[in-house]
Amino acid sequence: MNEAETFKALRGLLAELTGPMAEAARYLLAHPEDVAVHSMRSLARRAEVPPVTLVRLAQRLGLPGYGELRQGFVERVLRNSAAAQMAATRNTESARAIAAAADAGTGALAFADGFFAAEHDLLRRAFAGLSETTLDRAATTLAMAPRVFVAARRTPFPAAFTLAYALRKARPGVVLLDDAGGAPEGALEDAVAEDVLVAFTFAPFSRITDALARRASDAGAQIIVVSDIEEAPLRDLAGDLFFLAPTLSRAFPESAGGALALANLLAALTVSKLGESAQQRIRMNERRLVETGEYLLAAGPVRKRRSVRPR
């Protein structure tokens, strides 16, 4: 059983498990790095289960023993390590590639042609990873959840803001976990199992976004992940609700175009799911904006001039 099969089997088995075995399975899925670096007894202490539980869990998966189960996690960590090494230098490599393309002497317009071609290919690859079932489930989740939390840091943050901004117009209970005040986790204090958190995260992956998603998952909330590589650490929490948003193009430091497109797509599908309730809320929102004079090209309330009598 390779690492992808191991994680898929664990997720599928989790609904059938109870007691210590369920606790062990949840811990393994939430902390895959621990499985790779700790002994069975040390891991059992961290998961607060008897060591024999890990052996029995491996056997429930059809494996001879815990060693075979652990091997899948070791392979995953090795792959993530390689991806992280690439991510650590990709900004430098991206800048070098951009400079080389600009120095080709073909001019800014030719560079722009290649730039937009690369962005178009990026969107094509993002679309190729979509499925009818996943899109429908994600839109239903975003429409029906009592609250929607959205988290991101750095480059993917514009996509998170776009999704949160659009969803707020269509439904209540949408929270962007921004850390301007230094405590983005505060909004998650009352998260419940029916809530959902959407995490936008690019390699080498934000520790804060990861922690927010895991905290929400621990509360039972559904996790939706948008990331640039298949090996994203949060993929285990998202299960099937994982969306691939490639970032490699001619943009610097990396392109958020795919993530932005997915944010807009998820918002549009959610509006469609919400139906008339979303339409009514959007109309009220736009009316308020017009009445406050927010828009230059929209007719706001007419204010009568007071007549001034000559003295």
pLDDT digits (tens, 9 = 90+) for 29-58: 877 777 777 788 888 898 899 999 999 998
Q: If we measure between CA atoms, which residue out of 52, 55, 50, 71 comes closest to residue 3?
A: 71
Strand runs (DSSP E) across 185-278, as ranges? Answer: 196-201, 222-227, 242-244
- Average per-residue pLDDT for the chain: 84
Among the listed ranges 14-28, 131-145, 233-247, 292-306, which one has the minimum average pLDDT value?
A: 292-306
Q: d(Cα 264, Cα 210) in Å, to the nearest integer?
A: 22
Q: Does residue 284 share a domain with residue 183? A: yes
Q: Does residue 57 share a domain with residue 158? A: no
Stretch 198-223: mean pLDDT, rounded? 90
pTM here is: 0.69
Stretch 2-18: mean pLDDT, rounded? 78
Specify whether the CB–CB gap between 182 and 210 falls below 8 A: no
Domain assignment present for 181: yes
Domain assignment present for 147: yes
Listed in sequence order, the residues at least 6 apart from 193 whose beta carbon sits closer than 8 Å to its beta carbon are 219, 220, 221
Q: What pLDDT shows up at residue 243?
A: 95
Banded pLDDT at 84 (limits 50, 70, 90): low
What whole-number percentage of the chain has pLDDT above 70?
84
Q: Is the pLDDT of residue 64 over 80?
A: yes
Stretch 79-84: mean pLDDT, rounded? 55
Domain assignment present for 96: no
288, containing H or E segment: helix 276-291
Domain assignment present for 46: yes
Q: What pLDDT shows up at residue 239?
A: 85
How many Cβ atoms sit within 10 Å of the Cβ of residue 85?
11
How many Cβ atoms sit within 10 Å of the Cβ of residue 91?
13
Provide the pairing of β-strand 196-201 with 148-152: parallel
Specify whether the CB–CB gap between 237 and 229 falls below 8 A: no
Residue type, 154: R
Domain assignment present for 140: yes
Domain assignment present for 305: no
Q: Is the pLDDT of residue 83 over 60?
A: no
Q: What pLDDT shows up at residue 135?
A: 96
Stretch 165-190: mean pLDDT, rounded? 84
Q: Does residue 178 share a domain with residue 38? A: no
Banded pLDDT at 219 (limits 50, 70, 90): confident
Q: Does residue 166 share a domain with residue 52? A: no
Domain assignment present for 104: no
Specify whether the CB–CB gap between 252 and 95 falls below 8 A: yes
Domain assignment present for 28: yes
Among the listed ranges 165-174, 215-224, 263-272, 300-309, which one has the minimum average pLDDT value?
A: 300-309
Banded pLDDT at 294 (limits 50, 70, 90): confident
> Can you give the residue range of the structural domain that contains 63?
3-74
Number of domains in the chain: 2
Q: What pLDDT shows up at residue 90?
A: 64
Q: What pLDDT shows up at residue 292?
A: 85
Q: d(Cα 198, Cα 219) in Å, to the nearest integer?
A: 14
Q: Does residue 272 share a domain with residue 135? A: yes
Q: What pLDDT shows up at residue 260?
A: 96
| Residue 175: strand pairing partners | 149
Q: d(Cα 294, Cα 286) in Å, to the nearest integer?
A: 10
Tell me, what CATH number does 58's domain have?
Answer: 1.10.10.10
Q: Does residue 218 share a domain with residue 281? A: yes
Tell me, what CATH number does 256's domain have?
Answer: 3.40.50.10490
Q: Is 222 helix (H, G, I), strand (E, B) or coil?
A: strand
Q: Is the pLDDT of residue 180 over 90?
A: no
Q: Does residue 244 share a domain with residue 136? A: yes
How many Cβ atoms sit within 10 Å of the Cβ of residue 293?
12
- Rg of the chain's alpha carbons, rounded to an integer? 24
CA angle 128, 12, 222 (to 5 degrees): 70
Among the listed ranges 85-89, 152-156, 218-222, which one has the minimum average pLDDT value?
A: 85-89
Q: How far is CA 127 from CA 156, 203, 241, in A?
A: 18, 20, 15
Among the listed ranges 53-57, 79-83, 133-137, 153-157, which one has the minimum average pLDDT value?
A: 79-83
